[in-house]
Structure formats: C-alpha cells, structure tokens
C-alpha cells in the first residue's frame, strides 16, 4: 500500500468544461446561442418579417477562469507510477500508456490528454480546460500486490504531440508527460539491452534523455528482478522519466524467464509491458507478447524471444510465425512497401565475449538460415555485456548480402570483457563499457552510432565503475539492398513440417542453453 494522503480540497476536473462560463448569460426572450451570441427576433407586426439576424454580443466581463484547486501532479491514496508508453496498434495514430498502482483496491483510474499545445500551460497551472478522458483497464501484476493499468488512445493526430497525465482524483495524478509524433521519413530509434537498476544503468537512462528518439527497443534482461518482483517496480520507477516520454518495446531475455515457470514463464514481462499482437500466441497469449512484429515508416521490425521463454510452449508457433512474417516482409520489400527488415532479440548468434565465443550454436541452427533466407538487414541483440558490431555476415563469414549483428548488452548491469583469442573475422567494431546505439532512418539508409562510456579500469572491480562522458565509439551505415538481393529474398515460407522437422533437437539444445544461462547474465 502507498502512503499518499487524500487531498480533501481537490475538486473534480470535468472533461470538456471551458474556462469561461456562459450558463448564466441570458439573451432577449430568454434565449442564448451555444457560442454566446444573442439572437434577436423582429417585432411581430413587422410587414416584411426579415430573417432572424445575429447581432454582436455586448461585451461582458468574463467570469474568471475556473481554477482547479488540486496541484498537478497530486498525491492521493494510489499514486500512479512506473508510467511507460508503447503502441500496440498503429504507431502513428495510437499510443498505449501503462502504469502501476500499489495494492488491489485501487480507485478507477484514468488518462486525460490533449493534443492542443496551447492548453498545456494552463492545464499545468491547474485550470479546468477542454480535454479528453479514457478509463484504464486494470489487471493483476505477476507475483506482487500491484495493479497494472492500460489505456490505448486511438485516432490521434499523427502530426501533433500528445500531452497526458494518468491517475484519478482519489488515487492521485501523475505529472503531465509529452509524447512527440513520429516523423514519417526521417526518424530515430535506439537499442540496448541488459539494463538493471545499478548506478551505471541510471547513467545510461540519463544519457538517453539527451538523445531524443522516436522508438526505444530494449533487447532483453530489463530489470534483473530474477524472481524478486519488487525489483521490477524499482526499474520502472527509475526509468519513468524516459519511458513516459518515449515509446518503448522490448524483447524477453533469460532474466525475464526467471519470473515464473511454464505458462507463467516471464510472468512479470508479460503482465507489465504492452506490446503489439498480444493475441498472436495460441499457447501463451498475453499483453506483453514475447514475439510480435510491426512497421514504422519503411522499416519492418520483428521481435523474437529467441527461445528465452521456451518453457511456455510458444517456440514452435513462434518459429512458424517468424518464417511467415519474414517471408511476407521480404515480398513487401520487393513490392516497394518497405526498405529494411530488422530483428530485435536478446540472444546474439555470434559473439566474442569471454566465455561465450565463438557462437550460440542453438541459434545458428534455429534462426540463422531464416535470417539469411529472407534477407534480414539488422539483428539487434544484447545478452553479452559488451558492444560488438559485425560487418554484413552469414554463418560466421563476411557476406555482403548477409545481416549485420549489433550487440549492445551495454545497458549498465555489468561490464564484461572479450576473450583472449582475438576478434572473429566478421567483427568490425568492439567496445568495453556501457551505452546504447542510435539509428537514424533516412530514405534508403540507416545510420547507426554507438554512444559509449568506458570504465576506469579492466580488472573485476574497476571495470564496474564508469565516470567518463558518453561519446560516439562506432558509426556505421546500412544501405537498402540491391534489387537483385531483394528479389532473391522474396520467397514463399516453407512448410511447418520442414521447418520443425528437427524441433526436438532445437528444443533440447535451447533448454540446455537456457539452463546454462540460469546462473549467468
Ligand atoms: Fe542475458
Ligand atoms: Fe544480461
């Protein structure tokens, strides 16, 4: 339970109530128009009976604006917290806001919002203004006495910012947050994984605020709650400044799989996040889907669990979905609808991190043939707590029609090292430290920059201390494929029987890998 107190002086802010009251102003014959102008009827004996005419309203002294006594934001019995934004439907005309309240007896909770920027200053000062309201859908949160609230706003103006706050008069209101619109042609997304709640993780959060982006992709291992559910609340609370003002979508990692088992595997991830295609899994349908796809502009994104939550039995259907989804995307790319195909997941396929080099062979057999078949352009991953970027590659060799893997498990939970065997032939950039990658999407090209900060030393202790500023440590470009490459990737999906013919071995090796990771990061 929270310790907020009810503000007894709070007055209800009515949606759609203007600042100037006209209710008490009467025109001639007791009538008044909606806009305050007064209608005057002609005398009854007028021979010509001219039509009713509108005359200017007499200047009146407007009543002072109705000032709401509550302070914005306001405390209450159940203050909203952990506010984060995503989209589960159209990325331009919809936004989904998700937040938490403590306990199970929360009052009805709302979002109130406007896209009229001119109203926001007055709103912030507590004046009653026209605005829209929607009621939230509360649901239980995995493993803790917390309620998760969700609202999806639809039919938004895709060219204007969204200003919103969540809560209720009894429970308390959040501050007013802003979500900027996503530009259609030139826009930016960011990617990192392996975040946690450490001081370094908060440094990454603070630096993210200095690099506004239209979409944040987290490649798994978000909170490192590892079954201790209140850590999820800490993570959401720590990151609210960024997550309430940027759309974020995530992939599940091995640490998400430590919350629950079997059908409730990754229970916190599934119950606290809001992702597209929540009903895509027949066996593990949930709001925070562990595999889903969406387009932003001319980029198609597919988010994969990479087998991290195999215990919920959804991997076979995810693999079939991946095959069909990427086939459709490759055909749409040939048709000119999109330019790029990007996959986000936790596990890398290839790596030089100490102890994990040279590859995750489960994923080589599980996924790599699918990525290469459909001409995936970028594979964004985490899991290994270093930064490493490949040249375009396939099966461990540089290949101009392969995919580029960008590994950024540099969210700050810990800093690791590369092994002593030298970098593999596909590797093009490496960095030890913390940071994230920005991707600037322009017509026909994606330009990436890794913003990193190095630790004070490389021994086990000093490697976890980062004091220096973030700088660009790697820059790269991914250009739209040649027409020949686009054509060769536009092929039909394979029969599920062919795709899953070795599933028992894939499952066996995936479970072995997951078991091995259970005590690692
Ligand atoms: Fe991991
Ligand atoms: Fe990790």
Spell out which residues have Cβ within 5 A of ligand 2, the ion.
194, 221, 521
Q: Are 270 and 287 in contact (CB under 8 A)?
A: yes
Measured distance CA(17)–CA(247) in Å, rounded: 30
Ramachandran angles phi, psi of 487, nearest 5°: -65, -45
- Bridge-based pairing of strands 445-453 and 404-408 is unpaired
| Model confidence pLDDT, tens digit, residues 110-119 | 999 999 988 8
Determine the distance separating the centroid of ligand 1 and the alpha carbon of 513, expressed in angstroms.
11
Give me the mean pLDDT over the 466-495 stretch. 97
- pLDDT for residue 122: 77
Of 76 and 219, the one with more pLDDT: 219
Which of the ligands is closest to the CA of residue 517? Answer: 1
Task: Tell me what pLDDT residue 187 has.
Answer: 98
Ligand nearest to the CA of 224: 2
Ligand nearest to C-alpha 416: 2
pLDDT of residue 46: 37
Round to whole Å and give the CA distance between 260 and 167. 29
Work out the average pLDDT over 322-341. Answer: 98
**Spatial contact of 201 and 233, defined as CB atoms under 8 Å apart:** no
Check whether 256 has a pLDDT greater than 50: yes
**Low-confidence winner among 123-127, 144-148, 379-383, 433-437 (lowest mean pLDDT):** 123-127
Kindly give the distance from the C-alpha atom of residue 407 to the centroid of ligand 1, in angstroms, as a whole number: 12
Distance 347 CA to ligand 1 centre (A): 7
Distance in Å, CA 305 to ligand 1 centroid: 12
Higher-pLDDT residue of 514 and 340 is 340
Written as one string, the DSSP assignment of 2-48 is ------TT-----TT--SS--TT---GGG---TTS-EEEPPPTT-SS
**Residue in the block written with tokens 């909770």:** 109
Q: What are phi and psi of 362, to 5 degrees?
A: -60, -45
Q: Which ligand is nearest to the CA of 193?
A: 2
In the predicted structure, residue 82 carries a pLDDT above the cut 70: yes
What's the CA-to-centroid distance between 357 and ligand 2, angstroms? 15
Separation of 348 CA from ligand 1 center, angstroms?
A: 10
Task: Say which residue, 152 or 73, is predicted with more confidence.
Answer: 152
* Nearest listed ligand to the Cα of residue 308: 1
pLDDT at 50: 39
Question: Which neighbouring-strand residues pair with 67?
Answer: 127
**Looking at residue 124, what is its pLDDT?**
66
What distance in angstroms lies between residue 383's CA and the mean position of ligand 2's atoms? 4
Residue 517 CA to ligand 2 center (angstroms) comes to 9
> Element (H or E) spanning 132, and its range?
strand 132-135
The Å distance, Cα 13 to ligand 2 centre, comes to: 45
- 32 has pLDDT over 70: no
Band (pLDDT 50/70/90 cuts) for residue 201 is very high
User: Residue 150's pLDDT is what?
Assistant: 96
pLDDT of 514: 87
Q: How confident is the model at residue 91 (pLDDT cuts 50, 70, 90)?
A: very high
pLDDT band at 313 (very low <50, low <70, confident <90, very high): confident
Q: Which ligand is nearest to the CA of 223?
A: 2
Q: Tell me what pLDDT residue 221 has.
A: 97
Q: For residues 271 and 267, give the distance between their C-alpha atoms in angstroms, rounded to a whole number.
A: 6
Residue 439 in this model has a pLDDT that exceeds 80: yes
| Ligand nearest to the CA of residue 258, numbered in listed order | 1
pLDDT-based confidence at residue 362 (cuts at 50, 70, 90): confident
* Residue 498, φ and ψ in degrees, nearest 5: -75, -45
Residue 422: is the preceding peptide bond cis (ω within 30°)?
A: no
Distance 352 CA to ligand 2 centre (A): 15
pLDDT(18) > 50: no
Mean pLDDT of all residues belonging to the chain: 86
Question: Residue 58 to residues 32, 42, 261: CA-CA distances in angstroms?
Answer: 13, 18, 72
Q: What is the pLDDT of residue 520?
A: 55
pLDDT tens for residues 397-430?
999 999 999 999 999 999 999 999 999 999 999 9
pLDDT at position 521 is 54
Ligand nearest to the CA of residue 194, numbered in listed order: 2
- Residue 10 has what pLDDT? 26
Q: For residue 171, is it left (φ>0), alpha (ψ between -120 and 50) or beta?
A: alpha
How far apart CA 219 and CA 252 sit, in angstroms, is: 7
Percent of the chain whose pLDDT exceeds 90: 69
Closest to 138 (Cα-Cα) out of 172, 110, 178, 180:
110
For position 38, what pLDDT does the model report?
A: 28
Model pLDDT, residue 361 = 87
Whole-prediction pTM value? Answer: 0.86
Overall average pLDDT of the 21-33 stretch: 29
Region 363-392 average pLDDT:
95
Q: pLDDT band at 286, cuts 50/70/90?
A: confident
Under DSSP, is residue 296 helix (H, G, I), strand (E, B) or coil? strand
Please list, in sequence order, all residues whose beta carbon lies within 8 angstroms of the beta carbon of residue 472, skipping any fewer than 6 positions away.
449, 450, 451
Q: Whole-angstrom distance between the N-terminal and C-terminal Cα of the chain?
A: 32
363 compared with 244, residue with greater pLDDT: 244
Distance from the CA of 303 to the center of ligand 2, in angstroms? 17
**270 CA → ligand 2 middle, Å:** 18
CATH architecture group of domain 187-517: 4-Layer Sandwich (3.60)
CA 351–ligand 2 middle distance (angstroms): 14
Q: What is the pLDDT of residue 262?
A: 78
Domain boundaries along the sequence of the chain: 81-179, 187-517
Specify the pLDDT at position 365: 82
Residue 24 makes CB contacts below 8 A (sequence gap 6+) with none
State in Å: Cα 386 to ligand 1 middle. Answer: 12
Tens digit of each residue's pLDDT (9 = 90 or more) over 162-191:
999 999 999 999 999 999 999 999 999 999
Fold of 81-179: Immunoglobulin-like (2.60.40)
The mean per-residue pLDDT over the stretch 499-520 comes to: 84
- Per-residue pLDDT reduced to its tens digit, 40-56: 333 333 333 334 444 44
Domains 81-179 and 187-517 share a fold: no
The pLDDT value recorded for residue 334 is: 98
Q: Structure tokens of 273?
A: 């996040």
Could you tell me the pLDDT band of residue 227, with boundaries at 50, 70 and 90? very high
Q: Which ligand is nearest to the CA of 196?
A: 2
For range 185-204, the mean pLDDT = 98
């Amino acid at each position: 339970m929270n310790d907020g107190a009810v503000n007894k002086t709070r007055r209800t802010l009515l949606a759609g109530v203007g600042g100037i009251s006209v209710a008490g102003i009467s025109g001639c014959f007791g009538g008044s128009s909606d806009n305050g102008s007064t209608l005057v009827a002609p005398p009854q004996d007028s021979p010509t009976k001219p039509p009713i005419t509108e005359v200017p309203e007499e200047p009146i002294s407007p009543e002072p604006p109705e000032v709401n006594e509550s302070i914005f934001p306001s405390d209450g019995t159940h203050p909203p917290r952990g506010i984060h934004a995503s989209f589960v439907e159209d990325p331009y005309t919809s936004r989904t806001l998700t937040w938490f309240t403590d306990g199970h007896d929360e009052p009805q909770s709302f979002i109130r919002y406007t896209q009229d920027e001119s109203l926001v200053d007055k709103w912030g000062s507590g004046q009653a203004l026209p605005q829209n309201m929607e009621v939230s859908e509360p649901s239980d949160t995995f493993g803790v006495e917390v309620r998760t609230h969700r609202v999806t706003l639809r039919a938004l103006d895709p060219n204007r910012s969204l200003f919103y706050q969540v809560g209720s008069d009894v429970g308390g209101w959040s501050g007013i947050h802003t979500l900027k619109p996503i530009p259609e042609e030139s826009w930016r997304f960011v990617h990192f994984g392996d975040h946690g709640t450490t001081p370094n993780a908060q440094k990454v959060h603070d630096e993210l605020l200095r690099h506004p982006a239209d979409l944040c992709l987290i490649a798994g291992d978000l909170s490192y709650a590892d079954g201790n559910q209140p850590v999820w609340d800490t993570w959401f609370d720590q990151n609210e400044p960024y997550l309430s003002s940027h759309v974020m979508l995530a992939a599940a990692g091995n640490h998400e799989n430590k919350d629950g088992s079997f059908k409730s595997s990754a229970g916190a991830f599934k119950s606290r996040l809001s992702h597209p295609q929540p009903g895509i899994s027949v066996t593990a349908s949930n709001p925070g889907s562990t595999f889903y796809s969406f387009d932003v502009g001319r980029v198609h994104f597919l988010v994969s669990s990479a087998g991290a939550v195999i215990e919920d039995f959804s991997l076979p259907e995810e693999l079939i979905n991946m095959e069909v989804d990427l086939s459709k995307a490759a055909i749409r790319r040939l048709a000119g609808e999109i330019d790029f195909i990007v996959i986000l997941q936790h596990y890398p396929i290839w790596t030089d991190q100490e102890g994990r080099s040279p590859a995750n062979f489960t994923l080589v057999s599980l996924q790599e043939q699918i990525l290469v078949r459909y001409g995936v352009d970028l594979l964004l991953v985490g899991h290994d707590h270093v930064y490493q970027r490949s040249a375009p590659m396939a099966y461990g060799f540089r290949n101009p029609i392969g995919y580029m893997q960008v590994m950024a498990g540099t969210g700050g939970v810990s800093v690791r090292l590369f092994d002593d065997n030298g970098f593999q032939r596909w590797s093009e950039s490496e960095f030890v430290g913390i940071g994230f990658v920005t991707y600037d999407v322009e017509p026909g090209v994606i330009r990436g920059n890794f913003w990193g900060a190095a630790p004070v030393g490389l021994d086990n202790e000093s490697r976890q201390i980062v004091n220096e500023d973030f700088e660009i440590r790697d820059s790269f470009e991914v250009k739209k494929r040649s027409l020949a490459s686009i054509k060769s990737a536009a092929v039909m999906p394979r029969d599920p029987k062919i795709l899953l013919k070795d599933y028992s071995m894939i499952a066996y090796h995936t479970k072995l890998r997951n078991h091995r990771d259970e005590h690692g990061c």
